[in-house]
Structure 1
């Protein structure tokens, strides 16, 4: 006897049922729970809108992670899903079958669709959102039982069709629906749009915020109130904010200074903040000092890329106790060592017991600075990744670095610059020299341990935008035959 694959039989049964729309809808109340995910996915992919609506209203699990199935913006699909929610909400008597509590519209992979959901006691599968979103500490008025609609929001210069539809629908259903945004990106968005969106979402629920804007200080001041309400922020990314003022009393510069200070002061309200990154963001030294003093929780990661950074800013970093438990430190494209490296050495010593990844690419590190940092680096025994690409280091000092890191068995990724001796007086790569010295450097490390992934690389070629890399074998940039 020939046995067919059960999944094939299930697929045939699902497709056969969908071909009879009225029958499929009428059968939902008697359909086994285990068949709901397969039937919903097929109806979703084949765009059976009426069946989608009916299935949402009858959904037998606590969470429906429909966002994982939505590849592109699709207002028609969204409307069908929300129509099902509305049908559920309009029932005078709560349907016996439906247990829907959370509608997840986030475009993230979800294990719910890859496993067979558990049916005991109507519990959702391991991959569904089991955790109650309204935890302790929320205002009393949001603790009433409502259906939560969870999404991420990417705000640009205007709302797209799907965003506008969701906001309009949520306003109509606001008595029964709690709209929760977990991750929000604000990119050159007009203030009136931001306020309208945050009135719908309640900033309290936002856990990740990326703010990329060229706002004036006055605009930052207007945003400060909304910003300060994001009490659950775990990740904050500030990008392309260029504000630099010299404080002069009773002038417009003084007014701007107060606007920026008000914006930065809101960070003191973020007691859950763990990850802070700044990219192309320029504040005055006084404002940087204020920012680090406003931190109220220990940071897990700090990333500062292409920012104007002074020696006094580095001193603020060293003195900030909220950075003493850092696991990840990324300083990219910052001239750290125009003055003494002692300040940064102290910072490394403060985070030595927790630091796991260290990125110091293109930070103006030379021989003397790196030599001064070696004692502090050797204390970072939990390092798993180190990157010092695009710094000017000689062969002898690079060997000293490798020797100091030789006992670090947890390191899995290492990125080192090609030594200074691999360039001619005009800065061009001497490929023969590069191919010769890199194996010697690698052997220096292999005396103590076998590196898992190690790379020695030249600066990026201005013509082909590639590097010459040695990772056990030499690979030249595209400009070389």
Structure 2
């Protein structure tokens, strides 16, 4: 759908800052959202700042304003945001707070920056990722606090009169690590006209104490996702943090990545610690997503997941060292029919585990994203799985990279994939018969990543796969060998 005449005119208005400023006062405020999107598309930070200063509504949601609309089908919310445009929004909010005493033309009370992307179809050099965005937000809060204190008159202080403690609530997803922790901590502590409220938290390389203090400073009712990675928490650290998360009624997602827990290296009190961990997870009453990457808790899946009050929709267990008993429990658990995404990457799957995996797939009728990368799936193992996989009619993406599959095995996979009506993406491994001579047998995960390929053989195998899709009329199905350029859609909506 082409842009409407209204949007084309909006782009013309924002193309020149001087004329835009002269025009805004005479334009209906109903046009401000269209002008805002046009200014973001064409990267006109000065116009964006003036629009924010004059914003006529109580709420400005960046992602909602940039989505496809009746005037423009482009969805700018999927792109990395421009640094200059985001800075213009923040500067205008701070400036608006300072000018409210003289002119109350700005109705803005909530600035919602949740859901701003860190990946997208259009990433340009002048963009702002989540770490820089978190620091910029924190500094804006501190600047607003400093300006408010500096701007209070001596008369007001003598009379005991001060400006309102909070005038604009800034909702955002925060990314905090060791280098940004202190700035974020200062922004969250104390009052100020800008109040920073976190919806989704990602914390990396923080000590348990710092992570705990950060959680204590956040608004519990607003917190929806917590992503803790590379924090070396151990069982004791996780057990310390989970009771804090139990006070967050809206918490849907918990990700504990690389937290230094391994039952293969037993320590005194480990069993008691595992029971405490299970009890802590049981206290997260609305949890719908859990990621336990590299928590090597072989044989403990029943203990952990049976403590949850409601079935999970997203379960990610990469490098969990799954045992046959783990998969057997999962396939018969209440979670199996509720799962929408399942990631078992990096777990070596065997013939012994095959019946449980077949049962799991046959029960997972709601499954839309499945990742079995690096699972040691051979042609014979995959062939035994294909009938069960064919029952997953709602599957939208399937990841099978870094498995030792031949071209023949991949062709069998392709014939199953074309019968899955909603499948949009198939990430497959380079065929084992397309490597140069000398590939170790059976090849390891690392062999498949590092060993040189025969480009001629690879081109012929790729063409065979594409012919299967073309003959079936499935040009909509994307084939890829790239592990990192594709990501699944957000599954847990607000």
Shorter-chain TM-score tier: 0.5 to 0.7
Taking the TM superposition and a 5 Å limit, the aligned residue runs for 1:58-457 are 59-65=55-61, 71=83, 81-82=93-94, 84-85=96-97, 98-106=106-114, 108=116, 148-159=169-180, 163-168=184-189, 171-173=190-192, 179-212=196-229, 213-245=231-263, 253-254=268-269, 256-286=270-300, 288-337=301-350, 339-351=352-364, 353-423=365-435, 426-427=438-439, 429-440=453-464, 442-443=466-467, 448-453=472-477, 455=479
2:162 maps to none
Contact in 2 for aligned 1:224/1:262 (Cα 8 Å): no
Contact in 2 for aligned 1:300/1:327 (Cα 8 Å): yes
SS at match of 2:233: coil
Q: For structure 1, which segment, 151-160 or 97-106, has the greater mean C-alpha deviation from structure 2 after superposition?
A: 97-106
Q: In 2, Cα distance between the equivalents of 1:235 and 1:31?
A: 43
Contact in 2 for aligned 1:241/1:280 (Cα 8 Å): yes
- Superposed CA offset, 1:189-216 (max 9, x none): 2344434433332223111211111123
What residue ranges of structure 2 are gaps of 5+ in the alignment? Answer: 1-7, 67-80, 118-165, 440-451, 485-494
SS at match of 2:393: coil
Contact in 2 for aligned 1:59/1:99 (Cα 8 Å): yes
Q: For the aligned residues, what is the CA RMSD?
A: 4.5
Distance 1:60 1:312, change over 3 A: same
Aligned residues: 396
Higher Cα Rg, which structure: 1
Deviation of 1:156 after TM superposition, in Å, equals: 1.0
Q: In 2, Cα distance between the equivalents of 1:424 and 1:6?
A: 58
Distance 1:371 1:202, change over 3 A: same
TM-score, normalised by the number of residues in structure 1: 0.66
TM-score, normalised by the number of residues in structure 2: 0.64
Q: In 2, Cα distance between the equivalents of 1:361 and 1:246?
A: 23
Deviation of 1:446 after TM superposition, in Å, equals: 5.1
Q: In 1, Cα distance between the equivalents of 2:459 and 2:88?
A: 58
What residue ranges of structure 1 are gaps of 5+ in the alignment? Answer: 110-144, 466-481
